[in-house]
Amino acid sequence: MSTSLRMTRREFVGASAVTVTALTFPSAFPLPAFAQSAPRVVVIGGGFGGASCARALKAIDPKLQITLVEPNKTFVACPFSNNVIAGLRSIEAQQFGYDKIAAGGVTVAAQAATAVNAAARTVGLADGTTLSYDRLVLSPGVDLRFDALQGYDEAAAAKMPHAWKAGDQTLLLRRQLDAMDDGGLVVIAAPANPFRCPPGPYERACLIAHYLKTKKPRSKLLILDAKDTFSKQRLFQNAWKELYPGMIEWVSLSQGGKVNAVDPATNTLITDFGNHTAQVANVIPPQRAGRIATIAGATDNTGWCAIDPVTFESKSAPNIHVIGDACLAGGMPKSAFSANAQAKVCAAAIATLLSGGSPATPKLINTCYSLAAPDYGISIAGVYQPKNGVLADVEGAGGVSPADAPREFRAREADYAQSWFSTVTAEVFG
């Protein structure tokens, strides 16, 4: 880590204090004056982005008619799901309902959104219901590109789990680790950018290695990567040496790490430089915005959604806003923290637009914690603002954990990670 990337907590808090206040308390924004019938806002997707946006809109003005469209009655969080894979946490600790969101005045439609008519400003649901909106928010997360990796489809995922959407796939990978032999090989295939949770594959490698070290110490873990660099790389690699010497091997793109095809019948991953047969194969395929974003006309030829960095309004679909993993947010990574922050800024912008005003230029924060072991945390933080049509890093703000921090510091960062998860899930769902 270069010295310029280092920061102290005081420096980070000082740089972003105003932004934190504005994002944490939506009621701090001036209330718009709605003169006629309350405008209707439909939010599609009940994850960290969508649920946060629905609640923020209701907090800004309780008279707004907010409908949250989400087919699943229970949300299963991805952050901390690597702990479930490593046997450190139950899947139940990842699950959250929508009862308190509904009790707060948001109408929760437990249906899948199947159609969007941007000209008529309507959303079609799976049960035939049509919802009208003045503004639509899309927060559909990601879809896995089963057409992007030869041999890897939904059937193959039952043998070589991706576990990149928390739930059954998480538990499948957990069971496979339990069943493998001591001395077996675990292979993780990591995709090229962009994808959900950039540090996720490397945190997963750490926590699986923690499981192997304690339960099956003769085993090895291989990361085949479609990139030459990754988030928090030096911190992760230092942790591998310190905690799991000789257990984890990382093969970069330039070293032949990109997986071009898989053979589920033999659990084999195929690269230009050779084949690797695993006892447990975790294949994380390329991704794109959730399908409803394409149906709505909000995606471009990358498969993601370009947005106005002030309002998060789609650059190709007027009156439709896109937040969270589905949008292209410049330097801001695809994380739960980002989705939560974007949701609040988007909600404030929508309320202002509906009242005829001009949204203020925002600053947004992202902090991402990763665990290299249950008591060993590392983090990266950033502050972002609109610049040249995208969200760009605020120079001098943010940074990563010190490379030479003592174990006490790593233990505190692990505690911060748990505190962040408890705080954000309580704010969003309960």
Percent with pLDDT over 90 in the chain: 91
Q: What is the mean pLDDT of the chain?
A: 93
Q: What is the pLDDT of residue 228?
A: 98
User: What integer is the mean pLDDT of 113-123?
Assistant: 98
CA 307 to chain centre: 17
Confidence label for 28 from pLDDT (cuts 50, 70 and 90): very low
Tens digits of per-residue pLDDT, 46-75?
999 999 999 999 999 999 999 999 999 999
Indicate the DSSP class of residue 34: -
Q: Are 206 and 377 in contact (CB under 8 A)?
A: no
pLDDT at 3 exceeding the cut of 70: no
User: What integer is the mean pLDDT of 402-427?
Assistant: 98
User: What integer is the mean pLDDT of 327-347?
Assistant: 97
pLDDT at 322 exceeding the cut of 80: yes
Tens digits of per-residue pLDDT, 202-261?
999 999 999 999 999 999 999 999 999 999 999 999 999 999 999 999 999 999 999 999
Distance of alpha carbon 20 from alpha carbon 25, whole angstroms: 8
Q: For the chain, give the number of residues.
A: 430
Q: What is the pLDDT of residue 16?
A: 37
Distance of alpha carbon 53 from alpha carbon 50, whole angstroms: 5
pLDDT at 21 exceeding the cut of 90: no
Percent with pLDDT over 70 in the chain: 92
Distance of alpha carbon 78 from alpha carbon 101, whole angstroms: 20
Q: What is the pLDDT of residue 167?
A: 98
DSSP string, 336-367: HHHHHHHHHHHHHHHHHHHTT--PPPP-EEEE
Q: What is the pLDDT of residue 245?
A: 98
Distance of alpha carbon 173 from alpha carbon 171, whole angstroms: 5
Distance of alpha carbon 409 from alpha carbon 64, whole angstroms: 45
pLDDT at 13 exceeding the cut of 90: no
Q: What is the pLDDT of residue 1?
A: 35
User: What integer is the mean pLDDT of 4-18?
Assistant: 38
C-alpha distance from residue 317 to each of 117, 121, 401 (Å) = 10, 11, 39
- Higher per-residue pLDDT: 27 or 287: 287
The 8 Å CB, 24+ separation contacts for 265-274 are 267/159, 267/160, 269/187, 269/189, 269/224, 270/150, 270/151, 271/224
Q: What is the pLDDT of residue 37?
A: 81
User: What integer is the mean pLDDT of 116-138?
Assistant: 98
The C-alpha angle with vertex 121 and arms to 119 and 127, in degrees rounded to 5, equals 120
> How many C-beta neighbours within 10 Å does residue 163 have?
26
Q: What is the pLDDT of residue 36?
A: 58
Tens digits of per-residue pLDDT, 250-260?
999 999 999 99
Q: What is the pLDDT of residue 7?
A: 40
Q: Are 292 and 138 in contact (CB under 8 A)?
A: yes
pLDDT at 31 exceeding the cut of 90: no
